[in-house]
Amino acid sequence: MSFHKFIAEIHKWVGLLLVQLLFWTAGGFVMSYFEIEKVRGEHKVVEQPSYIIAPNAYDPEVMKQILASKPGRISNVSATHLYGKAVYKVDYKDKSSALFDPHTGTNISPLNQQSIKEIATKLYSGDSEILALELLHETGIEYRSSLPVWKVDFADSDETSFYFHPDTGRLMARRTKLWRIYDFMWMLHIMDYDERDDFNHPLLYIFSALSVLFIISGIFLIYYRFSRRDFRWLGLGK
């Protein structure tokens, strides 16, 4: 077998394996075509105003009581707000947090369903109703952060979902139909079919190396597959 035929055989059989090239190209198109802000669902969240909470909304004595309640376990207590509602936020040394009523010192964490519903309605930029609201202790692939978490689904055409931290009411994630499509294409792109966040693994290395071999062999074959006659329209051959 001549050398160029040997290269052609390599090119042919490696190309047969590389359906992944289609996924890389399609994934690249999706990731470059859609605005990342739309993918993240940022347009689904109302821009929050700068809340100004009156100083008398907080009782310093209550803060002292909170600090004294669990000595050695608290790393910080701050006067803050829960989307406009005055609260004390307590951060513990184990990285957990809780919210307290600034006048009674009552621990209001974890937040109940009604509180999450009010927060979700306040943050949501659309006018669709809440379709479902559930506290999840296990989730699928679309939410990959701390658990448990409140999931709020809205009845809109984008199939919007919000995920809230049960202790602080923090919006942990926004998900839409576009995000789910994007995430699926990202999975195909990086070839991580489990967690979808690892792009340093052997399968990707192997297919990347095969792709390089495919391209190099294709470039080599150009020399044998083209002649001057192919470029006669440029006036370079007959």
Residue 228 lies in a domain: no
pLDDT value of residue 165: 97
The answer to whether residues 236 and 228 touch, using CB atoms and an 8 Å cutoff, is yes
Q: What is the pLDDT of residues 215-237, one digit of tens each?
A: 888 888 777 776 666 666 656 55
Number of domains within the chain: 2
Q: 147 and 98 in one domain?
A: yes
The answer to whether residues 149 and 170 touch, using CB atoms and an 8 Å cutoff, is no
Least confident of 8-17, 24-33, 188-197: 8-17
The answer to whether residues 19 and 211 touch, using CB atoms and an 8 Å cutoff, is no
Q: 95 and 164 in one domain?
A: yes
Q: 55 and 26 in one domain?
A: no
Over residues 193-211, the mean pLDDT reads 84
Residue 236 lies in a domain: no
Residue 229 lies in a domain: no
Mean pLDDT of the chain: 89
Over residues 159-172, the mean pLDDT reads 97
Question: Strand 161-164 and strand 85-92: pairing?
Answer: unpaired
Residue 55 lies in a domain: yes
Q: 123 and 219 in one domain?
A: no
Q: 153 and 58 in one domain?
A: yes
Q: Which domain holds residue 86?
A: 42-175
CA atoms within 13 A on the CB side of 144: 8
Q: 68 and 125 in one domain?
A: yes
Q: 126 and 57 in one domain?
A: yes
pLDDT value of residue 238: 52
Closest to 76 measured CA to CA, from 67, 84, 85: 67
Residue 49 lies in a domain: yes
pLDDT value of residue 203: 82
The answer to whether residues 66 and 144 touch, using CB atoms and an 8 Å cutoff, is no
Q: Which residue has the higher pLDDT, 24 or 168?
A: 168
Q: 90 and 70 in one domain?
A: yes
Over residues 150-173, the mean pLDDT reads 97
Confidence grade of residue 17 (pLDDT, cut at 50, 70, 90): confident
Over residues 162-182, the mean pLDDT reads 97
Residue 25 lies in a domain: yes
% of the chain surpassing 70 pLDDT: 94
Cα radius of gyration rounded to whole Å, the chain = 28
Q: Which residue has the higher pLDDT, 24 or 152?
A: 152
pLDDT value of residue 231: 60
The answer to whether residues 34 and 42 touch, using CB atoms and an 8 Å cutoff, is no
pLDDT value of residue 27: 87
212, with CB counted inside 10 A (0-12, 13-18, 19+), is: exposed
Q: 83 and 46 in one domain?
A: yes
Asked whether the predicted pLDDT for residue 95 surpasses 60, the reply is: yes
Q: 72 and 143 in one domain?
A: yes
Q: 157 and 57 in one domain?
A: yes
pLDDT value of residue 115: 96
Residue 125 lies in a domain: yes
pLDDT value of residue 230: 60
Asked whether the predicted pLDDT for residue 16 surpasses 80, the reply is: no
Per-residue DSSP letter, 86? E
Residue 233 lies in a domain: no
Q: Which residue has the higher pLDDT, 232 or 6?
A: 6
The Cα–Cα gap between 85 and 172 comes to: 19
Q: What is the pLDDT of residues 96-113, one digit of tens each?
A: 999 999 999 999 999 999
The Cα–Cα gap between 154 and 206 comes to: 42
**Residue 132 host element (H or E):** strand 130-136
φ and ψ of 98, to 5 deg:
-150, 155
Q: Which residue has the higher pLDDT, 214 or 94?
A: 94
% of the chain surpassing 90 pLDDT: 58
Q: 196 and 117 in one domain?
A: no
